[in-house]
Chains A and B, each alone.
Chain A
Amino acid sequence: MSKQKSKKEYDFKAAKELFEEYLEKGKKKTEIILPKDTVKINDLNRKEAINRIHNLTDELIRMILTTGKPSIQLPSRTSSNIIWDKKNDLLLLGKQIMEKHFHSLTSVVDITRLIKVLEIVYNLLTEDIHTSKRDVFYNDVKLFGKQDASDKCIEDVATMLYTTRNSTRVIANPRGGCVGRLRIRDKNDIIDLETLGSGTWPISPYLDQIEVLESDAEFILVIEKNAVMMRLTEDRFWRKYPCILLTAQGVGNVATRMFLKRINKELNLPTFTLVDSDPYGHYIHSVYLRGSKRLSYETPFLATPNIKLLGVLTKDLDEYNIPKIARLPMKPLDVKRAKDMLKEDFVKNNKKWEQDIKLALKDKVKAEIQALSTHGFKFITEEYLPKKLSTGDWI
């Protein structure tokens, strides 16, 4: 006999407030003045990309016809040349340029590879298909040698065209699912993410094919573990509380993060993460927040700077009376990771987060999300999440 628990009705007050806030913000249109000599990096559609490629090749041919010595001008991707405007969420590239000459022993191979990749990209664009990095490598194994070379060239080509890597039609493998109150058009198919049965929609990496049609969600929830995602899906969590659920099954990979950013930006919704209560989970959150440690050229496009850590916080373990037995002791690696996290700027700027990590280090225990199930399988969906979202208990 199931106990009839008093089903508290959570009003999701805090979340709703945040949602309203974002809505207001989104309405304001601020004039953005780009600093001098910078170029804005954004996605390109097919036509634009092809145009830019043609411009490049015309310049090269002109160089050959006059001096016979072509060279390519690559914008420099050092940290001094990349400007990421977090507030406005803009990625700008400065004017420092690296020039690669053909008639120089050091760069003859590089430039040949670049042109080859440019050709590949061009073909992709003209034929309107996508391919993976590995396929690019296999296109001309002899020229590239190792896949590292071709990967680097792909990035270079994206820089040359002042665009994102996605626009070059070389995409990463997808791994992740999404479900919720969202309707998209994916290559002439309209997909309603509510009516997917018991499963989730596997995130497609072909973001240029995806068009967000409409959504009435009020927040996005990013979940670390697939199991928890399935639980929430089964409960049709979004029916109660209008939201979009997303999982990357671990550390967010490029496709998931890009998708997340896409919907975050377009729908202007507050985003929360639900991760394990351990340093690794915090790390996963940080990846969503800021990208991987190495600020590469692409990461600004993959980071959602306004993502909030919802759970499971260390203090929740006590608050929600997770029994001590369900908590696991920290391993030395976890301790190390926690200490490294403390050194990070984004942790230092966030007092609550800092406190949380310190608390975790103090007790040296960690717990998984599923530890919440000690209070029942439906604890997450019926009590934990709603309470947190209502009270605004996030970092």
Chain B
Amino acid sequence: MRKRTQLVGFEFGYWKHTQYCAEFLDNALDAIEYYQWEEIKKKDSQIKYTLDQDVNLENLSITKKTETEQVDQKLDDEVKRTIIKDFTSDDHYKSLTESGKKLKNKDSSKKKEEIEEIEVSRIITDMVTLLAPAYSINIIDKEPLVIIRMIESEAHSLLTGEIDAKNVMTYQFEIFDNGHGMSKVDLRKYGKYLASSKSTELKQTRGSQGFGAPSAFSDSQNTTGRPIVVVSKNIDNLYASASEFFTTSKNEKKYAIHPTEIDSPFLHGTYIKLNYLNIKYVRGYVDTYIQQTALMNPHVTLIFIDPYKKEFIFPRKVSSFPSQPKYAKPHPSSTNIGDLQDLLAKSDNTSLLSFFKENFVRMSSKIAKEVTTLAENDIQDKLDIFILKSGYINKTKSSNEPIYFIRNEQRIYGKSTKPRDKTILYEIISDDLKNIYWEKITEYKKEFDNIEKIYKKIKLKKDKIQNTNTKKEINKIKNEIQNHSQEIEKIRNKKEKLKLSLDKIFKINDPAFREVKNKKIKNKYIDLVKEVKISEAKTDILTNNQFNSLFYAFKSIKYMSPPTDTVVPVGDIVLENTIIKELGLRISENLDDFGLVIQNLIQSSKDIIYQKAELLKKEHIENIKLEDINAKDSEVIDFNSKILSSFYLNNSSFEPENFIKTVETQLEPSNESNISSYKEVFEYFIDSFTREDDFVAAETRDPTSGKGLAYVVEAVMAYSNKLGTPKRSRDVLSRFVNRTPKLRDTADCAITKAVQNVKWKNYNLELFENNLPKGPIRLLVNVSGPYVHLMFKSQSKNALADDERLISEIKYCLEAIGRKLRIYLNRRAKIHNKDKRANLIEKYIPFFVESLYNIASKGGKYKDQINTKKLEILMREAIRKPTQPMINPPISEIHHEKKIEIKKPDVEEIKEIAIINKIPSIERKSPEFKQSSVLKVEKSKEIKRIQQKSISPKKPPLIQKTINKTITRPKPPTHIIKSKQTKLPIFTTEVIMNALDNKEWQNIKHLIFKLRIKDMLDARLLQVKLKGLERIGSVLVMIKMGKHHWKLK
């Protein structure tokens, strides 16, 4: 008989700590995301997370606070803990109450209350110490936050014989998240084993099994015998609900403290605390898990305090929250027989057709009909009844058996006058018909046997495929199998034709039939007929045969791939930014300003000519020579004006003269040398500014589907000398599925196999012995999709199942990253070589100059004019310059602050201005005007940077990327968020003091009623105000059963 712990997969070991963490962390993240998505749905929610500003957690330290607070509370806690340590079993609380009974001779109920109150206050203080720092810097309601803490303590009194005494400790595991929180209904269910909720509607969520948390609870109880504490608050409730319970073997909850309402420092969220036994905590498992989770979930702040009091804080790194993935209905090709049964049992649909249409994706009515007809065909062969157009006929095995024909007819029965539908059974008498019938049936049987033969052949060939090695042969055999399938199709068609012919015969001949009145036979055949007609069957009463045929038909049809909008990847930009911040990589900011080198620069006049040529080609005019087409000056002006006018101009006072002036001074038509030096400038920039950059590249593939599962693959790689080459190959790759890290079963996983299959040598990376890439890199791969439980290899859900499609997707993703890496590494090697060369050359300069000087100083032209230093400097400079590109004319007067800031008018306005003023300076230089003047702007911007050699953090308003874009309309004014309340509540101290009483203690519910507060936010505000008053000292406070009560002084 296996122990309960083994059944649910929690074993003593280093991994157990991570299992606890993983289980609850998954749930916490899901809760947070769910909360935000719900709030976003409500348009004007003011309580959703605000992610705009950066989280500043530099001064946050929970351990410090706890240490300071511990000093105050030390005595109380010690007392409590000594009591707890002495008890070993579930009955700890009972004995507590018992001892309480013995000690004091008062009412047992009152004792119970007091003890419960002590317990509740203990829960609260523990929770508050954990949350106080977050509360004090005011992030607890605004930032998505998860706090996990583990405390280690001695376990000697809880050990059984089989657990080794030395290494085992008790761990108190606390987790807090400010997600959605649980409503009271959910709280009641929480802790019980639930059926998996994934079979009806599927969503891309993290949760692994549906029974993870309860198994953790049972493990905790079994090893330590202590109850589980849960405090949870929903936004709809004013108070949080705290409870302490045990789960029993009957799948019920036994409360040590019933759900009590308490004040909570958080607006919404869940807090769970439990204890478990395990071997001594070792760093490297749980903290790795949390760190990797933080990498893939940068929209959440994670705080983890390990048993050795070290804090790991991972602040939120992005200001965007991932979007909610859509619900997905199951896809037929990934539904198995059990799922289909479940769905049938749960559905409300009466007819099969509607069942299929509503419960599956990619199931239209046409396909549903196909399924049912195929099922019917299959079941006909099984039950030996044919469905004909006019009725049904049975299939006899020998010519002596009676042939029955069944038909629906209108008959009058009993006392009624109207005819009703009835099924009538006839027996065929005439021999002629019998003979004809028998002929057809034998033919039919023949065809049936043929099909069977072909199926056998196909099977043989499939077995053959297993044994052959060459691809050619395999393909050959596959072709043969396809041919066989086509034959089968033909035979099926023949069968249908036979049936039709039977139908024709039996339509007409009435006298050959004799009605059968034997009830037994009649009923038998009526039932058979009902069974055969699957299309009219009801979903809740399918027989076994029907179901099997249905399933067979269901599976044999080819369906369209499932829709891919059910997956939400993390996104490549988010991944890049996260990993840059997390690893502290150095990435040059200016690259964004520059973008990529444009390969083909052409003059505007040439572009106009090309466009004209295209137009002419469309009109099928042949023999177009580009030389014959001309671009008129006016056309060029138009073209250039459109480009210029598409820049966003930022000056409120727009004056045409100013515009012309700036155009004259800042813009110049560029000539050939400028165009050719464009690339040089770019190269120079890359050389000078980005030489020490690290590398980061992320790639998110488009969502695809395979075998009915939609998924998306993404990966990010960071390359930096700072990271250092890891010694173990497993430190290179981090795998994620649906944003949860998978730390185990690395070698089995499909992701690892895909990484091993990529030829990393092509991308300038070395390999470990197991073909993983070796280098100062970190690689993260994430596969997201809604069908979690079908993607995994085993129940432990740590390794993805091998799937050709999946592996090739991951490979493509990694190869795209590899290509970028190769460019980066080549560039770095080039720079490295240049530096090496420069160093070598520099080494020899002093010798050269010395010898030269010794000769030249004694005679010759330059006898007194030179000195060694000057020569050395000149020669040294000559090395460094990658020939600074010379651009005509030399620009010396450009000031740093001068930016072209002009308002953005319509196209026509610009055109008019251009035409009216005729941009006279450009006209004057008209022979050169035909070149694009945009280039010049680019160059001036670049030269500014080169000459100043300081990287300005601001982006100038001229953006190259807006070329050829249409003018965007100005943004509509943002609408003001209206508040729900019609009256603004005035919570002055006066009002509050008036509401309070100096005789009775009132809690917040009373006050809310008195002040007629309707909004949750206002209630919060009231609470805050009351706290303020308490601090000042104008009101008295008493805490009873976790709730605050106030009274005037």
Contacts and interface: CB of A to CB of B under 8 A. Distances in A.
Interface of A: 50, 53-55, 57-58, 60-62, 64-65, 67-70, 102-103, 105, 108-109, 111-112, 115-116, 118-119, 122-123, 126, 143
A116 B847 contact: yes
B837 A119 contact: no
Contacts of A115: 847-848, 851-852
Given A67-B878, A70-B875, A103-B878, A60 B844 contact: no
B858 interface: yes
Contacts of B837: 105
B840 A68 contact: no
B859 A103 contact: no
Interface in B839-878: 840-841, 844, 847-848, 851-852, 854-856, 858-862, 866, 871, 874-875, 877-878
Contacts of A109: 844
Given A54-B855, A108-B841, A68 B877 contact: yes
Nearest to A51: B859
Contacts of A58: 856, 860-862
B863 to A, nearest CB: 9
B151 interface: no
A122 B855 CA distance: 7
A119 B851 contact: yes
Interface of B: 837, 840-841, 844, 847-848, 851-852, 854-856, 858-862, 866, 871, 874-875, 877-879
Per CB-CB distance, the 7 closest pairs between chain A and chain B, nearest first, are A68-B878, A54-B860, A119-B851, A57-B856, A115-B851, A68-B874, A112-B844
A68 B852 CA distance: 14
Given A58-B861, A105-B837, A105-B841, A111 B848 contact: yes
A200 to B, nearest CB: 40
Contact of B858 (A61, A111, A112, A126): A126
Given A54-B859, A109-B844, A102 B875 contact: yes
B875 A61 contact: no
B841 A103 contact: yes
Contacts of B858: 122, 126
B855 to A, nearest CB: 5
B856 A54 contact: yes
A50 B852 CA distance: 14
Given A58-B862, A68-B875, A102 B841 contact: yes
Contacts of B877: 68
Contacts of A143: 847
B446 to A, nearest CB: 86
Given A54-B856, A102-B844, 18 more contacts: A54-B855, A57-B855, A58-B856, A58-B860, A61-B852, A61-B861, A62-B862, A64-B875, A65-B874, A69-B875, A105-B840, A108-B840, A108-B844, A112-B848, A115-B847, A116-B847, A119-B854, A123-B854
Contacts of B851: 112, 115-116, 118-119
Contacts of A65: 874
A118 B855 contact: yes
A198 to B, nearest CB: 47
Contacts of A116: 847, 851
Contacts of B862: 58, 61-62
A50 B859 contact: yes
A77 to B, nearest CB: 22
Contacts, number: 75
Residue with the greatest number of chain A CB neighbours at <10 A, chosen from B847, B855, B858, B878: B855
Nearest to B873: A68
Contacts of B847: 112, 115-116, 143
A231 B852 CA distance: 53
Residue with the greatest number of chain B CB neighbours at <10 A, chosen from A50, A64, A65, A103: A64
Contacts of A108: 840-841, 844
Given A50-B859, A68-B877, A102-B875, A60 B852 contact: yes
B871 A64 contact: yes
A108 B844 CA distance: 7
A108 B508 CA distance: 109
Contacts of A69: 875, 878
23 contacts: A50-B859, A54-B855, A54-B856, A55-B860, A57-B852, A57-B855, A57-B856, A58-B862, A62-B862, A64-B874, A68-B875, A70-B875, A102-B841, A103-B878, A103-B879, A105-B837, A105-B840, A109-B844, A115-B852, A116-B851, A118-B855, A119-B851, A119-B854
A245 B264 CA distance: 124
Contacts of A126: 858
Contacts of B875: 64, 68-70, 102
B806 to A, nearest CB: 49
A235 to B, nearest CB: 53
A126 B858 CA distance: 10
Contact of A57 (B860, B874, B879): B860
A340 to B, nearest CB: 44
A349 to B, nearest CB: 46
A122 B859 CA distance: 11
A69 B856 CA distance: 17
Contacts of A118: 851, 855
Contacts of A54: 855-856, 859-860
Nearest to A121: B855
A175 B856 CA distance: 37
Contacts of B848: 70, 102, 111-112, 115
B874 A119 contact: no
Contacts of B854: 119, 122-123
Contact of A61 (B840, B841, B844, B866): B866
A368 to B, nearest CB: 51
Nearest to B876: A68
A116 B877 CA distance: 22
Nearest to B866: A61
A209 B877 CA distance: 46
A54 to B, nearest CB: 4
A51 B939 CA distance: 49
A200 B874 CA distance: 57
Contact of B855 (A53, A68, A103, A112): A53
Contacts of B878: 67-69, 103
Nearest to B846: A112
Contacts of B855: 53-54, 57, 118-119, 122
A308 B856 CA distance: 48
A108 B876 CA distance: 13
A112 B851 CA distance: 9
A67 B875 CA distance: 8
Contacts of A55: 860
A323 B840 CA distance: 69
A126 B856 CA distance: 13
A61 B879 contact: no
Nearest to B877: A68
A117 to B, nearest CB: 9
A55 B860 CA distance: 7
Contacts of B874: 64-65, 68
Contacts of A50: 859
A68 B874 CA distance: 5
B1013 to A, nearest CB: 81
B69 to A, nearest CB: 67
Nearest to B850: A119
A61 B878 CA distance: 14
Contacts of A57: 852, 855-856, 860
Nearest to A109: B844
B911 to A, nearest CB: 49
A200 B852 CA distance: 44
Residue with the greatest number of chain A CB neighbours at <10 A, chosen from B837, B860, B871: B860
A155 B816 CA distance: 56
Contacts of B840: 105, 108
A115 B851 CA distance: 6
A62 B856 CA distance: 11
B592 to A, nearest CB: 34
Contacts of B866: 61
A45 to B, nearest CB: 16
